[in-house]
Structure 1
Amino acid sequence: MSIDNGSFGTSGFRTEFPTALGTSTTDTISLLGHDLASDMMGQVGFGELAFWLVALRRPTPAETRVFEAVLVALTDHGFTPTAITARMTYLSAPDSVQGAIASGLLAGGSRFLGVTEDCGKFLADTLASHAEAGAPIPGSDAEWDALALHAITAQRAAGKLVPGLGHPNHKNGDPRTPALFTIASEEGLLGPHLQLFSAIGRMSEQGMGRVLPLNGAGVCGAALADLGLPVALLRGFALLARCAGLIGQLAEERRNPVANDIYMNVDRGARYVDPHQD
């Protein structure tokens, strides 16, 4: 597929900027080659559109169901650092809703939300290495288990965590994980990333020395990768979902504020210690 890099004027600067997304004229707005007002508003769901903007193809109903299930799974998880950060920023700057939301999104990283992308990349890299070695896609649970154990062992040998394993609260299993597996299976979208992720769960005790549950952020990454979405952008979808959750957190902060109590408890509980004292 060739890419039009635009036109350049006599000065050497661009005079045209090609895009496959949105453009507008005095009277119209076009998005993805369709008239936004007449062809899309009221006819295309937001989750469907978010998928379409990245994949540049309209998702099937099955893909939309799995994709939106992922968004729902990642929208809110209680008083996580992202929620607390947004509430504290809103306490400090109630005139800046955008700042509060941005601060919450910036708190999404390798421990919260970022696991979605980390897990998707880990699974994709494992599958790619397996294919590069000339090995066929596993055809049985035993073959998936062998690949999963190899991936776990290699990750641990490199001194890295296995993304998608374990959860600080759901020690006995993350309820989102079986739910998303079920939805993907019902829609015929239980692909290689989800199958490998399931095997990693089965092999966690043998590979890690203890049973660790598959967490919701990880299964979301596997599901998104199976939908063919770019692995490098998977964290973006987690942040998209959490943005809605943060708006909800700020709405609740206005109705029933807790940020000032958090601030006062920490501030009044601060105790100086001599940094040089043993």
Structure 2
Amino acid sequence: MTLQYPTSLGTSDAEHIFLLGQDVAGDLMGEVGFGELAFWLITRRRPTPGEARLFEAVLIGLADHGFTPTAIAARLTYLSAPDAVQGALAAGLLGGGSRFLGVTEDTGRYLADVLADAPDLPKDDAAWDELARAAVARSKAAGKFVPGLGHPVHKERDPRTPRLIEIAHEEQLYGPHLALFEAIGRVHPDVLGKTLPLNGAGVSGAALADLGLPQELLRAAVLLARCAGLIGHIAEEITRPVANSIYLTVDRNARYVPPEVGA
């Protein structure tokens, strides 16, 4: 019996490399953008120009956000092992969890769950607001956060959110996940008693869900974007290093405290 391992991704022979059924050199190189290819690999279908534009806008919005823990981890790992850039990148990507980077997936799943439980899609803003209000109230009663609300830096308005919504409208890709997300933005102050901005990670999750990305791969798309940002941090660390200063600041200000009795 001959063993077979089926794949619809990449294969090669002595003269060709094939990817997604296309000749890499003849059909893809110089003809397809990297963001378009990434979408194609994730969804197994080639995006329309509008889909590629929205997807790439999401990637750009998530590529970097300054000295976040993931960026600091990458820089410090590069300081320790400059001979293994893959380790620095991996260190930064491994920090993509519930507090940083994972919000995109959490929001996409949250919105999808609310929509799945709705008997019908709302027809107007009032109906969307009713659906959103009920969802936020359930989360509050359960003592759970509503993903996509709030940001540690952008307290009033995350500039990425209106721009992605604008692009989705321009490309006629504004779907139910984005509509529900905007409705949450409108109604949550009445339910939670405070006003929080719709953050860029959350709107990215809504946009990616409307584009049809599988829920299981929403965070993967964020990691793809952040990988580019981390490479930028490492490139800057090579020419303008700060990691050693970060390390020394912590190390020289460490203060020993005795362990608590019984801890």
TM-score normalised by the chain length of structure 1: 0.92
The reply on whether 1:28 has 2:16 as its aligned counterpart is yes
1:256 is the counterpart of 2:240: yes
Deviations 1:160-211 (A, max 9, x none): 2110000001001101001101111111111000000000011120121100
1:231 maps to a residue whose letter is: Q
Which amino acid in structure 2 is aligned with residue 59 of structure 1? P
Q: Please name the residue that 1:180 is paired with.
A: 164
- In the alignment, what sits opposite 1:221? 205
Taking only aligned residues, the RMSD between alpha carbons, in angstroms, comes to 1.2
Q: Does 1:62 align with 2:50?
A: yes
The 5 A counterparts of 1:11-160 are: 15-130=3-118, 135-160=119-144
Counterpart-to-counterpart distance in 1, 2:84 and 2:135: 45
Which 4+ runs in 1 deviate beyond 3 A?
none
State which of 174, 180, 183 in structure 2 corresponds to 1:190: 174
Partner of 2:188: 204
How far did 1:145 drift? Answer: 0.6
What secondary structure is seen at the aligned counterpart in 1 of 2:117? Answer: helix
In the TM superposition, what is the alpha-carbon distance from 1:154 to its structure 2 partner?
1.3
Tell me the alpha carbon deviations over residues 30-51 of structure 1, each in whole angstroms, 9 at most, x when there is no partner.
1111111101110010000000
What amino acid sits opposite 1:260 in the alignment? N
Point out where structure 1 has 5 or more consecutive residues left out of the alignment. Answer: 1-8
Partners of 1:146 and 1:156 in 2: CA distance:
15
Q: Which residue of the other structure, out of 231, 236, 247, is the alignment partner of 1:247?
A: 231
Note the alpha carbon deviations across 1:43-69, whole angstroms, 9 max, x for none: 010000000011111100000000000
Matched, 1:169 2:153: yes
Work out the CA distance in 1 between the residues paired with 2:200 and 2:257.
Answer: 39
Q: Which amino acid aligns with 2:219?
A: R
Kindly provide the amino acid, as one letter, of the partner of residue 99 in structure 2: R
Residue 172 of structure 1 aligns to a residue in which SS?
A: coil
* One-letter code aligned to 1:65: R
Q: What SS is found at the alignment partner of 1:203?
A: helix
CA distance in 2 between counterparts of 1:250 and 1:54 reads 27
Q: Secondary structure at the match of 1:124?
A: helix
Mapped partners of 1:201, 1:117: distance in 2: 18
Structure 2: distance between partners of 1:155 and 1:105: 29
> Which residue of 225, 247, 255 maps to 1:271?
255
CA-to-partner distance for each residue in 1:114-165, whole Å, 9 max, x for gaps? 00000000001110111xxxx2210111111111111111122222211000
